Structure 1
Amino acid sequence: MDKPDILIPRPLMRSILKVLDRDYTTHKLWEMADPEAYLDSVAQMIKGIASSPSAKVDANLVDRLPNLQIVANFGVGYDGIDARHCADRGIMVTNTPDVLTEEVADTALGLLIMAVRELSASERYLRAGKWQSDGPYPLTHGTLRGRKLGIFGLGRIGKAIARRAEAFGLEIHYHGRRKQDGVAYPYHRNLKELAAACDTLMVVAPGGADTRHAVDADVLKALGPNGVVINIGRGSVIDEQALITALKNGVILAAGLDVFEEEPRAPAELIALDNAVLLPHVGSASIHTREAMGSLMLDNLATWFKEGHAVTPVAETSG
């Protein structure tokens, strides 16, 4: 039996590539001297795409592959994939939910504590020898005590963050596309209203046109001078320049970011700020979790080609 041809636009973990090479005829686009010419030469053969958040699977790419059946994404976020266009073409799109939920939620709480208590800045203080030369690190203005946490995007990860935050004594509010049944947390109809009711904003929302720069200067101002913003969703959700201005001018207290608008570039102005804690998109970056994500992506491909259905289809193609 012929192995289905799979296009791999960007590098994946070696353990995943090993299985893909074993079970499929793979086409690693990033290895080609002329990717466009190579894609033209194999377009008719491609039955599936093993994608990742760094890859762009837009309508143009999809339309170049007339026999494409499935796009299996390595990651829960799939804003780089035009899922609606795939649905119109009858192409399945899958992602890897659940398996990274707990790891990302842990990272979110870690970022929150680091930002509020200035842990990164105090570590730099120690490493620079200032504890010995200048005395104890100054008392921090920020604390978790009495904080109200507004979660923008109360999905699987948002709920896992909420459970952890409740254990720290935080009061939880949320905003999303709709009020959720069976959720006791106060719901706010828009993001500015959520920010005004809270002093801590946790961004867990997906990227895309609907959420681009949703956290803007007005939302940050509503959060207030004791405000803290944490983003483990997508960098595009926050207006980075507005955030930089707010941090510089004391409009808010601090920020913790695991994602940026133009990854892997983090703005130099953000890097220079002591009240910004910055991570290089490591929310789910443990071997344990990434292996689980890869396994689920492989399961989606295998069940599709063997049984004609997927394990975790995205909403646009689940019907």
Structure 2
Amino acid sequence: MKPTILMMPRLAAEAIARLKQSYTVIGPVDGDAAAAIPAEARDARVLVTYGGRRTGAELMDALPKLELIACYGSGVEGVDAAAAKARGIRLCNAADANARSVAEFAMGLMLCAMRGIGQGERFLRDGLWGKPGRDPVANTPDLAGRKIGIYGLGAIGSRIASRAAAFEMEVGYHSRSPKPDLPYRFHDSLPGLAAWADVLVVAVRASAETRNAIDDAVLNALGPAGYVVNIARGLVIDEDALCAALEQKRIAGAALDVFAAEPHVPERLRALDNVVLTPHIAASSQDAKKEQLRMLLGNLEAFFAGRPILSPVTL
């Protein structure tokens, strides 16, 4: 008899097919409340979810045999870690399976924002090229010689750093502690990093500690020639503060792949021409999806075989 797992969100068809080869898969589930859990899921020892989706204590209590929460991706911020720890439930993720893809996308967003690629494409598509009195986007800054400040130098942040260095950028970072084995400039405060940087890239893990960390003070420190790129989680940036800074030209621009209340994107952001917006797709490359699925299957196989899981998250 196949072990039972509960799939909270609807995963890709390939992922579901691979899971069904070895497990009885229940789900997806509409909503995050305990009442939404189907009765047959009470035998599930594993819950599969996305890190951004809420997995609270009440939901855990509705699954009396639950032993493992497996996040399909690197994020785990939606899981009530204290509740899981208190109930002896383990947590795993896809570790750095999508780090390379997200880092590549961050560089793309940076280029789009700083070199005016999105504005230039809109200018051309709107038929304005060659119109009297209308000139294409110009006077954009090169990346070479500019300072990139990376907030969070983990698996994704460190890959962004190496790619930025290849663009001849000077790299600085802020994290919980210095990383002396890496050749980048450590800043002991986020405002200090922002004041130093020409572009501030948010690559930190979402948590209560990092919620709204990019606030008015940080944006003002970044200054009117500065740019913000976010490929982490929307909650790390105070969106109202960001909108005001962009509207008032207190920063030059932003490029955002993530938002505080997805899929909602504030109309204030949509209305701005100095912002590049994408629908949380940095980790959606073919290679990243294959690696995330490989990690998920590997974690589940190890769990049910009684072996150490591949990518445990410390609670």
Normalized against structure 2, the TM-score is what?
Answer: 0.94
Q: Is the 8 A contact 2:147 2:198 kept in 1?
A: yes
Offset of residue 265 of structure 1: 1.0
Distance in 2, Cα, partners of 1:22 & 1:42: 19
Normalized against structure 1, the TM-score is what?
Answer: 0.93
Determine the structure 2 residue equivalent to 1:198.
197
Q: Is the 8 A contact 1:29 1:39 kept in 2?
A: no
Matching residue's letter, 1:70 = L
Runs of 4+ in 1 over 4 A off after TM superposition: 34-38
Q: Is the 8 A contact 2:26 2:41 kept in 1?
A: no
Identity between Structure 1 and Structure 2 (%): 39
Distance in 2, Cα, partners of 1:308 & 1:91: 16
The 5-angstrom pairing of residues 66-105 of structure 1 reads 66-105=64-103
Distance in 2, Cα, partners of 1:165 & 1:279: 21
Q: Is the 8 A contact 1:112 1:230 kept in 2?
A: yes
Determine which structure has greater relative contact order: mean sequence separation of CA pairs < 8 Å that are 6+ residues apart, divided by chain length. Answer: 1
Determine the structure 1 residue equivalent to 2:24.
25
Matching residue's letter, 1:240 = E
Structure 1 residue matching 2:29: 3-state secondary structure: helix
Structure 2 residue matching 1:133: 3-state secondary structure: coil
The 5-angstrom pairing of residues 292-303 of structure 1 reads 292-303=291-302
Unaligned runs of 5+ in 2: none
Structure 1 residue matching 2:129: 3-state secondary structure: helix
Structure 2 residue matching 1:215: 3-state secondary structure: coil
Distance in 2, Cα, partners of 1:67 & 1:31: 21
Distance in 1, Cα, partners of 2:92 & 2:69: 6
Q: Is the 8 A contact 1:118 1:140 kept in 2?
A: no
- Alignment counterpart, residue 50 of structure 2, candidates 49, 52, 59: 52
Determine the structure 2 residue equivalent to 1:119.
117
Determine the structure 1 residue equivalent to 2:174.
175
| CA offset digits 1:270-300 (Å, max 9, x no partner) | 0111100001011011222112211211110
The 5-angstrom pairing of residues 98-177 of structure 1 reads 98-134=96-132, 136-177=135-176
Q: Is the 8 A contact 2:195 2:221 kept in 1?
A: yes
Determine the structure 2 residue equivalent to 1:273.
272
Structure 2 residue matching 1:179: 3-state secondary structure: coil
Determine the structure 2 residue equivalent to 1:313.
312
Number of residue-to-residue matches in the alignment: 314
Distance in 2, Cα, partners of 1:192 & 1:87: 34
Q: Is the 8 A contact 2:99 2:159 kept in 1?
A: yes
Distance in 1, Cα, partners of 2:237 & 2:145: 25
Determine the structure 1 residue equivalent to 2:223.
224
Distance in 2, Cα, partners of 1:101 & 1:230: 16
Structure 2 residue matching 1:131: 3-state secondary structure: coil
Pair 1:186–1:38, CA change in 2 (3 A): closer
Structure 2 residue matching 1:241: 3-state secondary structure: helix
Distance in 1, Cα, partners of 2:231 & 2:109: 9
| CA offset digits 1:60-90 (Å, max 9, x no partner) | 2112222111111100111011233323322
Distance in 2, Cα, partners of 1:29 & 1:167: 43
Offset of residue 184 of structure 1: 2.7
Q: Is the 8 A contact 1:29 1:35 kept in 2?
A: no
RMSD: 1.8
